[in-house]
Amino acid sequence: MIITNTTPYTKEEIKKVSMENKLILESLASDLKRVALGLQRGSNAMARRFLAEALQRKKEVHTKKIALYVKNILSRITLNLDAEDALMYSTLLQNYAKQISIK
User: pLDDT of 26-38, one tens digit each?
Assistant: 999 999 999 999 9
Q: Is residue 85 part of a domain?
A: yes
Could you report how far apart the first and last alpha carbons of the chain are, in Å?
A: 26
**Higher per-residue pLDDT: 7 or 10:** 10
Percent of the chain exceeding pLDDT 90 equals 74
Q: Is residue 81 part of a domain?
A: yes
Q: Is residue 30 part of a domain?
A: yes
Q: What confidence score (pLDDT) does residue 98 get?
A: 93
Q: Which of 2, 21, 79 is nearest to 47 (CA)?
A: 79
How many residues are there in the chain?
A: 103
Q: Is residue 87 part of a domain?
A: yes
Q: Tell me the Ramachandran region of residue 51: left when phi exceeds 0, alpha when psi lies from -120 to 50, beta otherwise.
A: alpha
Strand, coil or helix: 50: helix
Q: Which of 48, 50, 20, 45 is nearest to 33 (CA)?
A: 50
Q: Is residue 6 part of a domain?
A: no
Q: What is the rounded average pLDDT of the residues 36-48?
A: 96
Q: Is residue 21 part of a domain?
A: yes
- Domain boundaries, position 40: 14-99
Query: Binning pLDDT at 50, 70 and 90, where does residue 65 land?
Result: confident
Strand, coil or helix: 7: coil
Q: Is residue 2 part of a domain?
A: no
Q: What is the pTM of this model?
A: 0.85
Q: Is residue 4 part of a domain?
A: no
How many domains does the chain fold into? 1
Question: Residue 80 carries which DSSP code?
Answer: S
How big, in percent rounded to 5, are the helix, strand and coil portions of the chain? 75, 0, 25
